[in-house]
């Protein structure tokens, strides 16, 4: 039994005492309890949002706005909306850092000020994005809900005709044809090049990576000029949707390769090692492990390339030209896209054509959003997460495999031996009897 001595007359808890050994007369050492002080539990937190944080934030906003209005209205001859916003933002960061430093230490001040910088820049980017979308929709709102805008072309419509006549049916069809051909060219090449860059490590792969990096910064007008000089001037083909698709694929290809390369690098190496350890060759590992694991990222890479190609204007203008009629033949005659139609509509001085141009740009944005939504549906699930239909197919295959294994390992049924005639049947020895041990 442990003996506890109280030196101060107060009962101390286990956290407040320290044990000191002291000898006793019988040679047994008993613990002696001595009271010690416990340091205060003041932990520093770098996350969360308290009431003090809210008061600091509101105070910094009010103070920065007041100081900025004072500078632009009384103390200094400053003007301009952009300068007002920049000065207000800088004053907010300074005042917010001073208010936080009154109660917290330097690491907390740095953390909260940098968090304010990151959140404000993200808010600024979001405001810029939504302002562009809102402005485009507002300028073309009167045309978006007219059925003729999607079914007719501009072959019989003049600049002064009302909005009830004409449309962008020819541009929608041309965009789908050109992007479809470009996808058929770039997706196999892009994914194959990304797999090559990740699976093959030699000087040639380094050369391919350098070329892809250089093509990422290639201006689109140079791709259009290259196809115009080779495909049209040297080889003698006419301007067509196919030439525009080849020029667009040149711009899409480096985006898909670089994005897919980054995604494939994120595949865990132990998955590949497990596949190799089971005896799978490299092409089976790539097809059954690497690509399915990175499916979501590869779909995003393809959509990024499509979004780059669907907005190209200069290559289409140089290689396909412009037409106001519907053309569904990608091998002959000019073909137009939504981006090129937007350019021709907006540069016109007629207000009706400008309104059609903004509506065409809105349709282009909606088309890109639809493509992103389709990509999320195709590659949104992570590796190992199956839909109900995929899980049903997997269970069906598992049942078939189980039945096949059971049939292979089941005991063989006795078969009828050939009939043995005459004395040979009598000469056969009797079958052996299994030995049975007698119970004690």
Is a pLDDT exceeding 50 seen at residue 431? yes
Q: How far is CA 11 from CA 7, 39, 259, in A?
A: 9, 19, 67
Task: Tell me the CATH number of domain 150-384, given options 1.10.3720.10, 3.30.465.10, 1.10.10.10, 1.10.238.10.
Answer: 1.10.3720.10
- Report the distance separating Cα 29 and Cα 2, nearest Å: 11
**Cβ atoms 14, 1 nearer than 8 A:** no
The distance from CA 277 to its chain's CA centroid, rounded to whole angstroms, is 31
Cβ contact 232:332 at 8 Å: no
Q: What is the CA radius of gyration of the chain?
A: 38
Mean pLDDT of 318-341: 89
- Classified as helix, coil or strand, 19 is strand
Higher pLDDT, 438 or 279: 279
Q: Is the pLDDT of residue 289 over 80?
A: yes
Residues 6+ apart with CB under 8 A from 91: 63, 64, 67, 68
Look up residue 13 and give its two tokens.
């808890």
DSSP character for 160? T
Checking if the pLDDT of 383 tops 50, the result is yes
Token pair, residue 416, equals 């009828």
Residue 7 to residues 35, 247, 354, 430, Cα–Cα distance (Å): 8, 91, 93, 98
Please list, residue by residue across 324-359, b when 16 or more beta carbons sit within 10 angstroms of its beta carbon and e when fewer do: bebbeebeebbbbbbbbbbbbbbeeeeebbbbbbbb
What percent of the chain has pLDDT above 70? 78
Do residues 164 and 149 touch, judged by C-beta distance below 8 A?
Answer: no
Q: Tell me which residue of 176, 189, 179, 181 sits closest to 255, measured CA to CA.
A: 189
Residue 291 Cα distances to 110, 128, 284, 300, 338, angstroms: 42, 36, 10, 13, 33
Block residue for tokens 């890109």: 368
Whether residue 181 has pLDDT greater than 90: yes
Nearest to 255 by CA among 199, 323, 194, 197: 194
Residue 56 burial by CB count (10 A; 0-12/13-18/19+): exposed, middle or buried? buried
Judged by DSSP in three states, 329 sits in coil
Q: The tokens of 183 are what?
A: 């996808």
Q: Which residue has the higher pLDDT, 433 or 302?
A: 302
CA dihedral sign of residues 425, 427, 428, 432: positive
8 Å CB contact between 165 and 152? yes
pLDDT at 26 over 60: no
List beta partners, residue 21. Answer: 31
pLDDT band at 227 (very low <50, low <70, confident <90, very high): very high
Q: What is the pLDDT of residue 407?
A: 81
Domain ranges in the chain with CATH number 1.10.3720.10: 150-384
Tell me the mean pLDDT in the region 153-174: 86
Q: Confirm if 356 and 143 have CB atoms less than 8 A apart.
A: yes
Cα torsion 313, 318, 324, 327: sign: negative
pLDDT, tens digit, 9 for 90 and up, residues 133-157: 899 988 888 888 888 888 888 888 8
**3-class SS shares of the chain: helix, strand, coil, % to 5:** 65, 5, 35
Q: Which of 25-39, 62-76, 241-255, 308-322 has the lowest mean pLDDT?
A: 25-39
Residue 322 and residue 336 in contact, taking contact as beta carbons nearer than 8 Å:
yes
pLDDT on residue 14: 44
362 C-beta neighbours (distance < 10 Å), count? 20
Confidence at 192, pLDDT banded by 50, 70, 90:
very high
Q: Please, where are the H alpha helices in 140-240? A: 141-144, 148-151, 169-199, 203-216, 220-227
**Which of 36-40, 68-72, 351-355, 357-361 is predicted least confidently?**
36-40
Whole-number pLDDT of residue 1 = 43
**Measured between alpha carbons, how far is 99 from 181 in angstroms, rounded to an integer?**
59
Question: Stretch 19-26: mean pLDDT, rounded?
Answer: 50
**Average pLDDT for residues 66-95, to the nearest whole number?**
81
Q: What size, in residues, is the chain?
A: 440
């Amino acid at each position: 039994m442990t003996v506890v001595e109280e030196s101060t007359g107060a009962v101390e808890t286990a956290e407040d005492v320290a044990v000191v050994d002291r000898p006793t007369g019988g040679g047994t050492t008993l613990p002696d309890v001595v009271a010690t002080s416990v340091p205060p539990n003041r932990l520093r937190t770098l996350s969360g949002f308290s009431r003090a944080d809210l008061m600091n934030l509101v105070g910094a906003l009010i103070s920065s706005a007041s100081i900025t209005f004072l500078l632009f209205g009384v103390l200094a001859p400053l003007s301009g909306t952009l300068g007002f916003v920049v000065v207000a933002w800088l004053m907010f960061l300074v005042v917010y850092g001073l208010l936080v430093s009154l109660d917290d230490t330097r690491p907390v001040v740095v953390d909260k000020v940098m968090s304010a910088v990151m959140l404000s820049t993200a808010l600024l980017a979001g405001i810029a994005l939504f302002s562009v979308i809102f402005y485009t929709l507002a300028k073309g709102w009167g045309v978006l809900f007219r059925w003729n805008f999607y079914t007719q072309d501009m072959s019989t419509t003049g600049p002064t005709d009302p909005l009830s006549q004409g449309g962008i049916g020819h541009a929608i069809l041309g965009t789908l044809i050109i992007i479809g051909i470009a996808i058929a060219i770039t997706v196999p090449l892009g994914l194959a090049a990304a797999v090559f860059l990740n699976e093959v490590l030699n000087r040639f792969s380094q050369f391919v990576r350098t070329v892809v990096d250089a093509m990422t910064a290639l201006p689109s007008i140079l791709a259009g000029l290259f196809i115009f000089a080779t495909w049209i001037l040297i080889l003698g083909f006419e301007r067509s949707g196919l030439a525009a698709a080849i020029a667009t694929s040149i711009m899409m290809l480096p985006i898909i390769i670089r994005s897919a390369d980054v995604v494939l690098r994120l595949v865990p190496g132990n998955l590949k090692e497990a596949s190799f350890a089971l005896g799978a060759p490299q092409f089976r590992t790539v097809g059954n492990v690497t690509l399915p694991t990175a499916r979501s990222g590869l779909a995003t890479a393809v959509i990024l390339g499509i979004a780059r190609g669907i907005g190209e204007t200069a290559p289409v203008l140089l290689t396909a030209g412009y037409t106001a009629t519907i053309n569904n033949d990608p091998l002959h005659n000019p073909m137009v896209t939504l981006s090129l139609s937007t350019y021709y509509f907006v540069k016109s001085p007629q207000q009706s054509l400008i309104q059609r141009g903004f509506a065409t740009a809105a349709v282009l944005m909606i088309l890109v959003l639809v493509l992103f939504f389709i990509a999320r549906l195709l590659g949104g699930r992570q590796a190992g997460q199956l839909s109900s239909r995929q899980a049903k197919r997997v269970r069906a295959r598992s049942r078939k495999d189980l039945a096949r294994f059971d049939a292979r390992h089941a005991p063989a049924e006795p078969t009828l031996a050939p009939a043995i005639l005459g004395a040979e049947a009598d000469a056969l020895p009797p079958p052996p009897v299994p030995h049975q041990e007698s119970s004690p």
